Amino acid sequence: PSTLTVSEVTTRYLRRLVGAASEYLGKKVTSAVITIPTSFTEKQKAALVAAAAAANLEVLQLISEPAAAVLAYDARPEATISDKIIVVADLGGSRSDVTVLASRSGMYTILATIHDYEYHGIALDKILVDHFSKEFLKKNPGAKDPRENPRSLAKLRLEAESTKRALSRSTNASFSVESLIDGLDFASTINRLRYETIARTVFEGFNRLVESAVKKAGLDPLDVDEVIMSGGTSNTPRIAANFRYIFPESTRILAPSTDPSALNPSELQARGAALQASLIQEFETEDIEQSTHAAVTTVPHVTNAIGVVSVSESGEETFVPIIAAETAVPARRTVHLDAPKEGGDVLVKVVEGNTHINVIKPEPKAKEDGEANEKAEVADDDSDFDDEEDEEEEEKREKVWKIGSILAEAAVRGVKKGAKVEVTINVNTDLTVIVTAREVGGKGAVRGTLSA
């Protein structure tokens, strides 16, 4: 038998992909954009480029897998580019990666990543293998354990993966292996509820990965605007349903089972890479290298949000964000604010802002002694009752803006009745801030510069 290095295997694999793509397109494929994990080192990147070159494939660019997944959604014609925090849960067969990104005006910044080799698709396969192996031994007393025979184990794993895929599409699935071991056939069925019960530990592991990534980024689940589920394991409905409980209702969970407009999770990275290739295929190599140089891609960011203070008729002050936190600089944003109805002079306060999680605890209900004793007596016998009580007493959490330090104050004089005031904040690469305030449609403006 011949021995092949990892580089040689990679070259053969890429050569086969190039051949398949060329046959499909009807013309020779000579270059490509390749996605890589966020954990790839410079040596791994160089080895991948060298393996591609050996397969006669020019690498236009290497982009991170989570960025490709986000691009696959943001590049759709119906998509609107907005400032948002995104969690990309890439759940594959042999590893899981969770990445938190900040999208600011179409620029992606990775805030935190977590890599895990314990919770993945193969772990779910193993749950089914163990389940049906035990069922086989029950039906066939005295038979050998099929998990201890390499050929039988291979058959179990193949059928387990097929059953897992079937349970993602329907609520019931069959499991059938001919001549599993010692000539004994085996056939059984399983429903989705039973599958979700026996695989509960793995599903909870996915939850912990996502929660850990959000915490590592220094954020709260309430800060997350979108969760993009990528990788073949993301087709499992229970995983998306569990994520729905982690994040608030305002967070969009992009998975086949939760959003009808969701893309195929298995194709996200390839789709994103293809879109990136279409964008840069006409670029010169020097231009691509210059735009992806560390001095360009690793740019300063705004730590706290920058905005203005809005005062209501009752005198209550609220923060209006103009430049969101984690925005790469240079950045320029504009907002229009309502001036007082009667017009006059308007004082604009430019401040820093950060989010604060407000926990609203339910008010304790007054209970009579007799009623309390009666409920205590039936508590042991009525578990459903306890669940209802717990739901009623659940704490509510909401994200609110907290006004920080004042950066500048600007006075716009003589504003007309019913007019609006335009405030523009420009943050330069050296983190100096230029604030411009003026009446919309009016002449003249107030401008000031703040040092970093």
Torsion of CA 406, 412, 418, 419, to 10 degrees: -100
| Distance, CA of 294 to CA of 199 (rounded, Å) | 43
Q: Is 21 exposed, middle or buried (0-12, 13-18, 19+ CB in 10 A)?
A: middle
Tokens of 32: 């490509």
Neighbouring CB atoms inside 10 A of 6's CB total: 9
The closest of 41, 42, 58, 53 to 7, measured between CA atoms, is: 53
Neighbouring CB atoms inside 10 A of 229's CB total: 29
Quote the pLDDT of residue 383. Answer: 47
Quote the pLDDT of residue 442. Answer: 81
Which stretches of the chain score pLDDT less than 50? 295-296, 379, 381-389, 391
| Distance, CA of 274 to CA of 272 (rounded, Å) | 5
Quote the pLDDT of residue 328. Answer: 78
Instruction: Report helix, strand and coil shares of the chain as percent, to nearest 5.
Output: 40, 35, 30
The pLDDT tens digits of the residues spanning 195-230 come to: 999 999 999 999 999 999 999 988 899 999 999 999
Q: Are 213 and 114 in contact (CB under 8 A)?
A: yes
The DSSP secondary-structure symbol of 414 reads: E
Backbone φ, ψ for residue 329 (5° rounding)? -110, 150
The pLDDT tens digits of the residues spanning 372-424 come to: 555 555 545 444 444 444 545 567 777 788 888 888 888 888 888 888 899 99
Contacts of 24 (CB under 8 A, 6+ apart): none
Quote the pLDDT of residue 367. Answer: 57
Quote the pLDDT of residue 286. Answer: 67
Give the angle subtended at the CA of 269 by the CAs of 119 and 52, to the nearest 5°: 105
| Distance, CA of 346 to CA of 438 (rounded, Å) | 10
pTM: 0.76
| Number of Cα atoms under 13 Å in the Cβ half of residue 306 | 27
